[in-house]
Amino acid sequence: MTRPILEVKDLRAHLMLRRGAVKAVDGVSFDLHPGETLGIVGESGSGKTMMGLSLLRLLPRPAGRIVGGSVIFDGEDLLAKSEREMRAYRGSRISMLLQDPMTSLNPVFRIGNQVAEPLTIHQKLAGRGLRDKVRELLRLVRIPAPEARMSDYPHQMSGGMRQRVVGAIGLACQPQVLIADEPTTALDVTIQSQYLRLLKEIQQETGVAIIFITHDLGVVARMCDRVAVMYAGRIVEIAPVRDLFNNPQHPYTVALLRSLPKLEERAEKLYAIGGQPPSLMNLPKGCAFTARCGLANARCREAYPPQVDIAQGHMARCWRTEEKAHV
Amino acid sequence: MSDVILEAREIRKHFPVSRGGLVAPQRGVLKAVDGLSFSIAEGETLGLVGESGCGKSTTSKLILLLEALSDGAISFRGKDVTQFTADDRRAYRRAVQAVFQDPYSSLSPRMRIGDIVGEPVRVNTRVRGADLKGRVRKVLNDVGLSDPSVPANYPHEFSGGQRQRIAIARALALEPEMIVLDEPVSALDVSIRAQIMNLLKELQQSRGVAYLLIAHDLAVVRHMSNRIGVMYLGKLVEIADSDELSLHPLHPYTQALYSAALPSHPDIPTSEIILTGEVPSPLDPPSGCPFRTRCAHAMPVCAEVPPPLREAASGHCVACHLYTSSN
Amino acid sequence: MSQSVDDRSIPYRPPGRGRRTFALLAGAPIIPLLIIGLFVLAAIFANFLTPYSPTQPNLTLRLLPPFWVEGGQLAHPLGTDLLGRDMLTRIMYGARVSLTVAVAVILVAKTIGVVVGITAGYFGGWVDAALMRLADATLAFPGILFAIVLVVALGAGLWNVVLAISLLDWAGTSRVIRGEVLSLKNRDFVAQAKVAGCSPLRIMAVHLFPNIINTLIVLSTLQVGSVILAEASLSFLGAGVPAPAPAWGQMVSGGKAYLTTAWWLAFFPGMAIVLVVLAFNMLGDWLRDVLDPKMRQV
């Protein structure tokens, strides 16, 4: 096994609001290996976007703060870096694609300019060399007639094209890690499919490792090699993708998989998880899923469950799973 | 055979637009809906799917009489809506209600829940006072919000899923015959979607209300609908029984759409039909069949004659030249 | 009811509602509120706060300087004017005029502005065009000139001043409210109201109006300042509330010839105007900051 390109250990990030501290990321640990795609699955309030932002230390200031843990990227601790040093990493060695293509691009600049920006900053390219590289990047993301498109403004392009431009900006300096935060949520079905295929092809060509943050298990099934499921700021299960779908262990994962309507078959009634996700300001003492879990017992309410190893690379945090493992 | 409640015949909605600058503005016509025909029977769910620009949201506005028809006819229980008297219109409003996509903007922020849910009744009937309160409480109970403090609170105190239930309660208050559901679950978290979908199905069973479901998620539409219609650039390209359409899509666009849908398991093979090109602009749709510019099976006749919606198999209609001749 | 339906129907209450209100009030701008408070108290209780009459001349005590200047008396802390009337008293009664005009103008102008703005924004089309052209026409008039002409035509008097200034003020409000309504009317809850069969009047009154109240509050507070200035300008030019009732602008006007000799005649009324206008502006700024995030939350 090659050395991981990214090692996150016990990452904690809080948002200090007037009425209390929101524990958005509450002890997240995972590894990312070169060339692999790791999916981070969670719903709103699970902390997945905050986690993605924390990796690049882009939490909204002054409310957001990383309060603990370590993020080791290619052997170096990113949390120990100064802001200036971090800027050298962002956009060049680690890059991020954000969710909304409408607002990720600046409406008053041509897209050629925007794709060129990271190249100008990190690689100090200029003139003809810069133009050539921009054209090459637009071709990489399969934008037809790149030379002509370079002088377009974002509003002249469709949503799918804009998202590809965002991809081009993200990949401009050949990063080792790409964090993609729900990049296809706003796209149509066929466009989404094209875009995901494109990302996979680019990954094969360039060897970039991708962290794919999403709420859509379909995306995970299609794109990811390994998956981490987040709930209330913590990772509750990590597994290789097939293991997760075939043998989900954490009750939340199980419930999530069962609640999805499937295209292949029509169920009379879907399994619905009762209740609401907990407030990240008032996390319960024990396991955060207790209130909605069909299997919860007294121990679940009392203490947060430890990591239970189920198989190679498959871990879940659940007392009931732990009991099963010891049987 | 149940009665037909609503029938749309060749409805069209054209928006005049002017492109270009001050000097030489071009007048164009945006054909949002261009010759759509369908019917909805008592107690059934008709799903309409399509991607952005296909005209499904405009269709919902036309059905709700929020926009006027440019051409064609909509009739409700046999009576043409353009012939409506004021009383007819009131009866229509009582019979046809709606639930929209965004739970955060569909409830008046400064009104209490009790007033929001009771408003349709207040505006359309003489029910007031204790009777009205009782009716509101009953319908809130039916959607699972039985806590007596609910009617006194404001929308911002509720979660997305709860707000959508309130919206459904409001739609039910007048005991309508049909509800237009415009992307009712797409703005909700994945684990909440199942709750809402189950609720909608139960309400349909207990009250016999019909649904016009507009959505882009194919699995959701399949789960909820009896029949599904596929729209492309303002036209209906295929309409069939829900199971039949999902298993045997006939129109090339439908086939491409279903093949692009994300799998529910990583081992499900994706035999994706790759569509070339971009969606044409509704300002300038291709002649003949609107899909011919991206269709792998395009024939010369496709550019000349728009294919009519014809029955290809029992209850299964397609608008495609592949099926009009004796193929 | 089935198992799968949400049993936890207790609505989510944002924690610490009381605590939040307290935090809000704790950040309130004390000084502007104090200033405004003082002037309001002076305006209301002038009769009880001062033994002197604002209009009764007392020629034996003319042109007394403020008490800290040689020749001044503590009994008349800010001095007396040309006719021997106590400056402090006149300033307090002047507050009555200024603040009454301000409140009246706000009520009249904002009401017209809101009605026009909501109507124009909601209906659009030719209604919008017609109303906005009317507003534009009003805005195009050179303000004070228009007000003077009106007052001259209608005759001097408090209510004519109020009318004149209101006719100037409503147009700006209507534009801002119209803008708000334009963005609100596309939200789903308006479409829902239509689907429920609500009449346009009901939609405007029940759905749109409550959502523009915040903007209205901020606008009103910010514009009190310019209303007071308008009134002061009018009375400075002699077109305001007629003498002998004291009005700050008129006092400044009366004192301008004596700036080098009896500077206090113009200075103190001028300061009063400055302080009140500034205080309202600061209050308006704070209100805007405070009400905005709440609006976004909704």
Per-residue model confidence (pLDDT) at position C15:
45
For tokens 């208050």, what's the residue? B173
Per-residue model confidence (pLDDT) at position C128:
94
Residue of B190, B201, B273, B278 for testing the chain A interface, max A β-carbons within 10 Å:
B190
3-state secondary structure of C122: helix
Per-residue model confidence (pLDDT) at position C7:
38
Query: CB contact, 8 Å: A271 with chain B?
Result: yes
Q: Which residue of A has its CA nearest to B243?
A: A266
- In whole angstroms, give the CA distance from residue A241 to residue A243: 5
Per-residue model confidence (pLDDT) at position C5:
35
Higher pLDDT: A126 or B64? It is B64
Per-residue model confidence (pLDDT) at position C6:
39
**pLDDT of B274-313, one tens digit each?**
777 777 877 888 888 889 888 888 888 888 888 888 888 8
Given a contact as 3+ CB pairs under 8 Å, which chains touch C? Answer: A, B
- In whole angstroms, give the CA distance from residue A275 to residue A231: 14
- In whole angstroms, give the CA distance from residue B203 to residue C167: 55
- In whole angstroms, give the CA distance from residue B324 to residue B311: 9
**Interface contact A20-C3, CB threshold 8 A:** no
Query: Do the beta carbons of residue A259 and residue B220 sit within 8 Å?
Result: no
**Interface contact A19-C4, CB threshold 8 A:** no
Mean confidence (pLDDT) of chain C: 83
Query: CB contact, 8 Å: A113 with chain B?
Result: no
Q: Which residue of B has its CA nearest to A44?
A: B189
Q: Mean pLDDT, to the nearest integer, of C126-144?
A: 89
Kindly state the percentage of chain B with pLDDT values over 90.
54
Per-residue model confidence (pLDDT) at position C295:
40
**Interface contact C6-A281, CB threshold 8 A:** no
Q: Mean pLDDT, to the nearest integer, of B129-138?
A: 94
- Please choose, from the candidates C1, C189, C195, the residue with its C-alpha nearest in 3D space to the C-alpha of residue B203: C1
Residue C145 in this model has a pLDDT that exceeds 50: yes
First CA to last CA across chain C, in angstroms? 31
**Interface contact B190-A222, CB threshold 8 A:** no
Residue type, C227: V
- Phi/psi-derived region of residue B172, left when phi > 0, alpha when psi is between -120 and 50, beta in every other case: alpha
**pLDDT of C256-294, one tens digit each?**
888 888 888 889 989 999 999 899 988 888 887 777 654
Per-residue model confidence (pLDDT) at position C4:
33
Residue B52 in this model has a pLDDT that exceeds 50: yes
- In whole angstroms, give the CA distance from residue A250 to residue A266: 25
B80-94, B229-243, C56-70 — most confident range: B229-243
Confidence class of residue B22 from pLDDT cuts 50, 70 and 90?
low
Residue C9 in this model has a pLDDT that exceeds 70: no
In this structure, of A130-134, A263-267, A312-316, C51-55, the range with the lowest mean pLDDT score is A263-267
Kindly state the percentage of chain A with pLDDT values over 90.
41
Mean confidence (pLDDT) of chain B: 89
Given a contact as 3+ CB pairs under 8 Å, which chains touch A? Answer: B, C
**Alpha carbon of B121: minimum distance to chain C alpha carbons (Å):** 8
Residue A218 in this model has a pLDDT that exceeds 60: yes
Per-residue model confidence (pLDDT) at position A286:
85
Residue B19 in this model has a pLDDT that exceeds 80: no
Per-residue model confidence (pLDDT) at position B205:
93
For the record, the structure tokens of A300 come out as: 């679940």
Per-residue model confidence (pLDDT) at position C157:
78
**pLDDT of A168-181, one tens digit each?**
999 999 999 999 99
For the record, the structure tokens of C208 come out as: 């749109």
For the record, the structure tokens of B140 come out as: 């809130």
- In whole angstroms, give the CA distance from residue C296 to residue A18: 16
Q: Mean pLDDT, to the nearest integer, of C208-236?
A: 87
**Interface contact B146-C198, CB threshold 8 A:** no
Query: Do the beta carbons of residue B297 and residue B323 sit within 8 Å?
Result: no
Which of A222, A276, A277 lies at the smallest CB-CB distance from B262? A222
Q: Mean pLDDT, to the nearest integer, of B236-244?
A: 93
Kindly state the percentage of chain B with pLDDT values over 70.
96
Query: CB contact, 8 Å: B60 with chain A?
Result: no
Q: What's the order of all strands across the beta sheet hosting B310-313?
A: B96-99, B178-182, B210-214, B45-49, B227-232, B235-241, B316-318, B310-313
**Alpha carbon of B310: minimum distance to chain C alpha carbons (Å):** 34
For A238, phi and psi rounded to 5 degrees? -135, 135
Q: What is the ipTM of this complex?
A: 0.83
**Interface contact B279-A274, CB threshold 8 A:** no
Residue B49 in this model has a pLDDT that exceeds 60: yes
Per-residue model confidence (pLDDT) at position C11:
44
Kindly state the percentage of chain C with pLDDT values over 70.
88
CA B197 to chain centre: 15
Higher pLDDT: C30 or A238? It is A238
Per-residue model confidence (pLDDT) at position C2:
33
Higher pLDDT: A323 or A237? It is A237
Per-residue model confidence (pLDDT) at position C23:
57
Say how many CB pairs under 8 Å bridge B and C: 110
Kindly state the percentage of chain C with pLDDT values over 90.
26
- In whole angstroms, give the CA distance from residue B14 to residue B21: 22
**Interface contact B278-A158, CB threshold 8 A:** yes
Residue of A16, A19, A259 for testing the chain C interface, max C β-carbons within 10 Å:
A19
C213 chain-B contacts, CB cut-off 8 A: 110
**Interface contact B191-A255, CB threshold 8 A:** yes
Which of C5, C193, C197 lies at the smallest CB-CB distance from B124? C197
B223 chain-A contacts, CB cut-off 8 A: 261, 266-267, 270
**pLDDT of C80-116, one tens digit each?**
888 888 889 889 998 988 888 888 999 999 999 999 9
Which of A18, A271, A274 lies at the smallest CB-CB distance from C23? A18
**Interface contact A274-C23, CB threshold 8 A:** no
Per-residue model confidence (pLDDT) at position A295:
82
Residue B149 in this model has a pLDDT that exceeds 60: yes
- In whole angstroms, give the CA distance from residue A59 to residue A22: 13
Window 13-52 of C: residues touching A by CB (8 A cutoff) are 14-16, 19-20, 23
C297 chain-B contacts, CB cut-off 8 A: 156
HSE-CB of B131 using CA atoms within 13 angstroms: 6
**Interface contact A274-C4, CB threshold 8 A:** yes
Residue type, A191: I
**Alpha carbon of B185: minimum distance to chain C alpha carbons (Å):** 15
Mean confidence (pLDDT) of chain A: 88
**Alpha carbon of C21: minimum distance to chain A alpha carbons (Å):** 11
Give Cα separations from C168 to A17, C171, C220, C280 (angstroms).
Answer: 43, 7, 14, 19
Which of A271, A276, A281 lies at the smallest CB-CB distance from C8? A276
**Interface contact B157-C7, CB threshold 8 A:** no
Query: CB contact, 8 Å: B243 with chain A?
Result: yes
For the record, the structure tokens of C137 come out as: 């026409």
- In whole angstroms, give the CA distance from residue C114 to residue C94: 29
**Interface contact C12-A269, CB threshold 8 A:** no
Say how many CB pairs under 8 Å bridge A and C: 31
**Alpha carbon of B139: minimum distance to chain C alpha carbons (Å):** 12
A272 chain-C contacts, CB cut-off 8 A: 4-5
Higher pLDDT: C298 or B307? It is B307
**Interface contact B261-A273, CB threshold 8 A:** no
**pLDDT of B201-235, one tens digit each?**
999 999 999 999 999 889 999 999 999 999 999 99
3-state secondary structure of A153: coil
Q: Which residue of B has its CA nearest to C198?
A: B123
**Alpha carbon of B127: minimum distance to chain A alpha carbons (Å):** 33
A194 chain-B contacts, CB cut-off 8 A: 260, 274-275
Window 153-182 of B: residues touching A by CB (8 A cutoff) are 159-162
Residue of C1, C9, C10 for testing the chain B interface, max B β-carbons within 10 Å:
C9
**pLDDT of A60-70, one tens digit each?**
877 888 999 99
